[in-house]
Amino acid sequence: MKDTRVYQTACPALMNGEVRGKLIAPLSDQMCGERSPLQLTTIGKENPLAFAGPITTNCAMAVTLAQWAKEVRTAALKSFGAEIETIATGSDYQCRLVNGGSSGRISEHAFANALDIMSFRFKNGRTTELATGWNGTPEEKEFWRAVHKTSCDMFMTVIGPDGDAAHKTNLHLDQGCHGDNCTSRICQ
């Protein structure tokens, strides 16, 4: 009988309930992939935040997203006086080059190491989208800038509307390596 075991690595954030979801089969697509991908539905252990649809990511992203959830929840309560119902996302795992280009380097999305945040729906019925909220009402501007700042403190790369034209509608978060020892951050 052939051994069909797939060798993957457990993710402490999933095991400890800091995120909810499941380990899925390894991803492999040409130059892209992740050995131990996760499909997540919520992030954060206490008062978890739900994604509008499941996202595919790696364990490093899951750990940071669990921590990020606490800060984003605090920002929502401060700016809108409401809990977050759902987070709508754009790209998660996707085999492609940076910004979907035809040349250049491979995107962190190609390694399940990036996530694009598009909008938030709150339990009071309100919604804020990055595309209009970045320069929207005072509470939207306050919220999105707080989310951007906390993201820059936690992720290695954060690109928002002030970064470039490709991120006018999505806040890009990733844990990619920058600098000689992988400790430099990009915050735009």
What is the identity of the amino acid at 51? F
Residue 48 in any domain: the answer is yes
What is the identity of the amino acid at 104? G
What is the identity of the amino acid at 83? E
Residue 68 in any domain: the answer is yes
Q: What percent of the chain has pLDDT over 90?
A: 82
Average of per-residue pLDDT across 19-26: 96
Residue 56 in any domain: the answer is yes
Range of the domain at 176: 12-187
Q: What percent of the chain has pLDDT over 70?
A: 95
Residue 155 in any domain: the answer is yes
The number of folded domains in the chain is 1
pLDDT of 50 above 80: yes
Q: What is the Cα–Cα distance from 84 to 105, expressed in whole angstroms? A: 35
Residues in the chain: 188
Average of per-residue pLDDT across 16-25: 96
Residue 123 in any domain: the answer is yes
Residue 158 in any domain: the answer is yes
Residue 92 in any domain: the answer is yes
Determine contact, residues 8/24, Cβ cutoff 8 Å. no
Residue 131: CATH number of its domain: 3.30.1380
Residue 153 in any domain: the answer is yes
**Comparing C-alpha atoms, which of 32, 151, 35, 49 is closest to residue 93?**
32
